[in-house]
Structure 1
């Protein structure tokens, strides 16, 4: 590495360190000056802070009751995850009580009791010295409030200031942006080519600078009267130690970026569209024939799972409809063969579960042949049609990977939508209570010949939905307990209530 190259890199490194260190030193110097001034004035909190690990200046002075800093309280609220048990509005009960007006409710007791309650509620209850603590415990037991012994009395004052400010409306999160602004944020421009061009320009600039550095070194050596070295060629520059190190650095960065992105996408299967054992067309059933989704997936309205319909559900229609508009007998006969329905006799086969594949083949081969001829098929092709369709039935209803070689039995559908095991999702809560359409998550299923996963089903996608989706409060008994929101809607104080407003972003809603 040449002298000028070393100098250039060292100067660049020193300059960056100087910028960072200068800012840090300036901030530390200012903090030290303020601390020293407080110590000189005899401030006991400042004196203690001078001997301990430095903390933010706003927290060094003792806080009088009711004089807390709402901004510091907001930071403490987030750091201690208070929102996991208490409503962010401070006006609604959740896992814990609504916190708005807490100072007034504790006003009849010494302020220290409120500090102790937040720091270690069970200890205060056990001491028996606080009637308020015992009353709250009797109302909310057996739910135990977490202990926060890490919080000082000043921290509690900051928290109380934040709670009161949110409760009175003088401090709170920004409103949700709806309408065109949301649509504009959803459409992001693709700047890939811009970055490629900039990257190419930087590489070209690096080569030019390397060439200039080599020429300058040659000129300096000539001017100093020393024997100049050979000017480096472009190939020598590209294969130099510095260039190789840079390439390795770029490869590591790009490799890490790619690895992280793939790790984020791990387990997601948007657009996943597997072949099913039976060619069931949602376009025909839900689209053309207008069959309601919950007729087949009846669990969606009453349970956590939407459930895959049993063959009995299919037979409600296909006892009468035994010839398909697209595939004739090829796909419908798979349903008959799974459950043991004899379409020729119009009845279920006795002891079908004890039959062998050969016995079942005779029954359904006869049916396929008779139906094929009755529909005007070529008699010379009957054997080929029967053989082909029976092979399809056998392939659909058996599974070599699970050693299931019997045709009689359930249909093994391939699962498409699959949330992680640590994520809880309840269909009834969204369909019956939330009044959501199936298409909100599953897309236009009525237009799908073969169903695929329409939505990403990622955590971010769910959170955005909870932030933007307004709950249907009107004529919905489930939400009668939210009286304040109903009153605000009637008064015109708010246009709607989102899932976020009723605690839809709390971690324990989906992970507990």
Structure 2
């Protein structure tokens, strides 16, 4: 009897184990099939280009059309045009976008996809703070400066306290010795007398303070108009680290006017909507930030349509972005001249640094640019190392002096080369060091940047 009992338990747990393995395998296969065939338009639990798929099989079963769902997946338009399925008509009317036929999937594969989506649970996302939005050392630097000011104040306080105690002790000694005490004598009087007695030390102090103050004013004057590491707040928490870094989106996809205009341009909301008409939530902020894009574009994600007024115009609420990179009004700079493939063809990171590591748009630092220029990727892209602060005149001049030009790289420079050949004296002078820089082609002429 006991043997039969153990045999029963052994068979039961073996069967249960095999069933669990089969379900797990089916779920894993379903996930792969879903991502390969369905994920571009569907999400398991959210409406996208197509409706959410979790619970879809149950709806077809409740409507008494369970067998039709496989026909629908295989050829949606054929089932819809047959008129025999109410569910097919409901889904067709839900979205004007026609579903791609998936006739290559077997019934078992379709079942494994529905097993996966019906058991799908969204991953738990850890709450990420906003600390990586800026410089992680910024707060430490500010805190350190704060404590230096406190320490300086305490030292001055102790110094005055020592002078006060000394004055009281001197008065007590004078009274004990019977010397007359001048009641009008003050602390400042003692200071003046000490400075006059020690005139050489006084002169050294005055000269030292004057030199220190002059140098400090001089150094601070050189920081006027220098905005390295400047990162203004923005109405939408956009992340370059996510889009340009993790997703690998090319800079000029969003800043599409960089190759043909003076300005790189702030991307319009329509550019954002190329993706976010379907992508409604992000990993860090959920739907909060993307909802701002939808509002700006006048897009109703539930209806998958734009809000229109009575004249058929979109009801929009444009986003007001805060500019990060600012040049003086008397400076002319053209992105097209620098980044177009037929001209300088300079990589964006030569001026903007490793943008793929930033969150909000910000002015990089020369140290960040140089660090990236030393990497294999930076050297491959032709980045050069400079010393002057970004967006300053010294930085531009230094780059024009160091940046070499390949006169065979495009028709633009080939034409310049052909013109140089007509002036043998100029051509020989330029090529005497076997390289051509921007400076040698007029990059230091004042009118190039100032007009």
Q: TM-score range by the shorter chain?
A: 0.3 to 0.5
Q: So what's the TM-score if we normalise by structure 1? A: 0.41
